[in-house]
């Protein structure tokens, strides 16, 4: 079911951070009909990256602490830390926009079409809603 709501409040990031069209989804919802310049925010990326980064920690607290410390001082950690921070920026932006569910296609940080990752379909739905409500 596609749902369009009128206005989304931008609470914590600058309005221009993702201005234009942005898809918010997860890895279980395939993306369709997407222009190559459309950002796609996979909201489950932070969880996936953390699982890859830390893996299963031992149940013994001392061993878990040792394993985590070794990871944190490793040369590759800084790169992974930047990836994780970038992934969380997308989640924070979705939260700041007040997105209620996903997948969602957001236009200009204020119009949203829920239930699809198809930018063409979302554009049609948004235009139809605008025409009906003018």
pLDDT at 10 over 90: no
Q: What's the rounded Cα separation, in Å, for the pair 80 and 86?
A: 10
Q: What is the DSSP string of 71-107?
A: HHTSTTHHHHHHHHHHHHHHHHHHHHHT--SSSEEEE
What is the pLDDT, as a whole number, of residue 54? 83
Residues 69-102: pLDDT tens digits?
988 899 888 899 999 999 999 999 999 999 999 9
Residues 42-76: pLDDT tens digits?
999 999 999 988 888 899 999 999 988 988 899 88
What is the pLDDT, as a whole number, of residue 22? 95
Show me where the domains of the chain are located: 3-132
Nearest to 54 by CA among 28, 37, 77: 77
What is the pLDDT, as a whole number, of residue 12? 33
Question: Which tokens go with 16?
Answer: 């221009």
Q: How far apart are the first and last CA of the chain?
A: 23
What is the pLDDT, as a whole number, of residue 19? 55
pLDDT at 1 over 50: no
**Residue 35, helix vs strand vs coil:** coil
Percent with pLDDT over 90 in the chain: 61
- Under the banding of pLDDT at 50, 70 and 90, the label for residue 33 is confident
The pLDDT mean for the chain works out to: 84
- The 8-class DSSP code of residue 105 comes to E
- Under the banding of pLDDT at 50, 70 and 90, the label for residue 2 is very low
What is the pLDDT, as a whole number, of residue 14? 34
- The 8-class DSSP code of residue 57 comes to P
């Amino acid at each position: 079911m596609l749902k369009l709501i009128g206005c989304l409040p931008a609470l914590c990031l600058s309005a221009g951070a993702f201005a234009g069209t942005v898809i918010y989804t997860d890895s279980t919802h395939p993306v369709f009909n997407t222009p190559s310049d459309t950002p796609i925010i996979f909201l489950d990326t932070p969880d996936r990256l953390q699982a890859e980064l830390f893996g299963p920690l031992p149940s013994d607290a001392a061993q878990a602490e040792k394993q985590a410390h070794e990871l944190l001082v490793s040369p590759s950690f800084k790169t992974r830390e930047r990836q994780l921070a970038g992934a969380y920026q997308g989640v924070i932006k979705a939260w700041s926009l007040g997105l209620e569910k996903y997948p969602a296609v957001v236009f200009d940080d204020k119009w949203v079409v829920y239930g699809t990752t198809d930018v063409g379909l979302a554009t049609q739905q948004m235009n139809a809603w605008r025409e009906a409500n003018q």
